Amino acid sequence: MEERKDVLILAIESSCDETAAAVVKNGREVLSNIIFSQIGLHTLYGGVVPEIASRKHIEKINQVILTALSEAGVTLKEIDAISVTYGPGLVGALLVGVAEAKAIAYAAHKPLIGVHHIEGHIAANYIAHQELEPPFLCLVVSGGHTHLVQAEDYGRFRIIGRTRDDAAGEAFDKVARAIGLGYPGGPKIDKVSKEGDPEAVSFPRAHVGDSPYDFSFSGVKSAVLNYINGCQMKGESWKQADVAASFQKAVIDVLVENAMRAVREYKADKFAIAGGVAANSALRSAMKEACEEQGVTLYFPPPVYCTDNAAMIGAAAYYEYLNGTRHGWDLNAVPNLKLGER
Ligand code: KG4
Ligand code: ZN
């Protein structure tokens, strides 16, 4: 049998507030994964400031890429393709990565592969689970997206549900700010909820009438704000940990319920979670319990591959590379790129 040559991909990710580069072998083996997080910079403003993010990406990107190559112990010459997130995300932030990837690919005579950010999040599961292959169902929950996706094949997806308003991570971040936890909200709510009672306050579980797989999180966010304002007006105190835990439970209940409805309807035997909110400990344990009950195998990446990173982009890019995807020098950042579009 002919042995296939190893494929080494240099991946770049700059869609939001992480400047990241990685070297990935054959889509599954991470040789390096360098992440420069700008979180500290944006904390001061209570969220990501796009202009600051772009400027910081420019400052950091060369260094992050050089470190990724040296930690992997490979030279640019040995790299088979350069891949980069080209959407969705903040346009100015994306442009830094796209311009950098094009410059490197052009100068080093390497193929260029643009990757959809969400496809990257889903592919993070390929790194963590060598045996995982499509088809499977996937819940992508991040700061910008909440999608229930049927991964039909490598690089082929069907969206079966999505949020109608806020993304799950966005709701975590907004509620965290409202209850005085600050930015970034997700990890802080996760932590403080461990000391709270998830049944303390009853927040609404929104169901979108005409689509059993769609989500809506703006209602639960408003309910938290109303609850706090109500307490303040009545001169009553409220417990931060209880509000956090009750909010978190309301979000997770809906995520798990819709996910399991899809499992039954699509007769899935494999379910994956991905994106920053997939790092949430309560979501992970609720999904584990629900999947066990349904007899479905659950997959999730370790937290470092849930939040933004370039290794996941390298994993997705490998399968695009095998499929023959190659982008030209006219590749542009597409802030609202749809999954499945090319
Ligand atoms: O995937 P990601 O790094 O960026 C986007 O593509 O949006 O996700 C970031 C989001 C933020 O909203 C953050 O608060 C949330 O993921 N997040 C969490 C946790 N860790 C990160 N949400 C809940 N629990 C966590 N442990
Ligand atoms: Zn992301």
- Closest atom of ligand 1 to 248 CA is 23
Instruction: Give the residue, by CA position, lying nearest to ligand 1 atom 21.
Output: 276
Pocket lining: 34 vs ligand 1, CB cutoff 6 Å: no
Rounded distance, CA 153 to CA 101, Å? 26
What's the 118 CA to ligand 2 centre distance in angstroms?
Answer: 7
* CB proximity list for 295: less than 8 A, separation 6 or greater: 269
Rounded distance, CA 298 to CA 310, Å? 23
First-to-final CA distance of the chain: 34
Rounded distance, CA 306 to CA 142, Å? 9
Low-confidence ranges of the chain (pLDDT < 50): none
Pocket lining: 307 vs ligand 1, CB cutoff 6 Å: yes
What's the 103 CA to ligand 2 centre distance in angstroms?
Answer: 24
For residue 340, the Cα-to-chain-centroid distance in whole angstroms is 16
Residue 243 near residue 198 (C-beta atoms within 8 A): no
Which ligand gives the minimal distance to the CA of 277? 1
- Closest atom of ligand 1 to 275 CA is 1
Reported as half-sphere exposure (CB side, CA atoms, 13 A), residue 162 has a value of: 9
- Closest atom of ligand 1 to 15 CA is 6
What's the 19 CA to ligand 1 centre distance in angstroms?
Answer: 16
* CB proximity list for 341: less than 8 A, separation 6 or greater: 116
Mutate to test the pocket of ligand 1, among 38, 48, 146, 172 (most ligand atoms within 8 A of CB): 172
Which ligand gives the minimal distance to the CA of 146? 1
Reported as half-sphere exposure (CB side, CA atoms, 13 A), residue 231 has a value of: 13
Reported as half-sphere exposure (CB side, CA atoms, 13 A), residue 213 has a value of: 22
Give me the pLDDT at residue 207, please: 83
Rounded distance, CA 244 to CA 195, Å? 9
Give me the pLDDT at residue 208, please: 85
Pocket lining: 279 vs ligand 1, CB cutoff 6 Å: yes
Give me the pLDDT at residue 2, please: 59
Helix H or strand E encompassing 157: strand 156-162
- Closest atom of ligand 1 to 169 CA is 12
- Closest atom of ligand 1 to 184 CA is 14
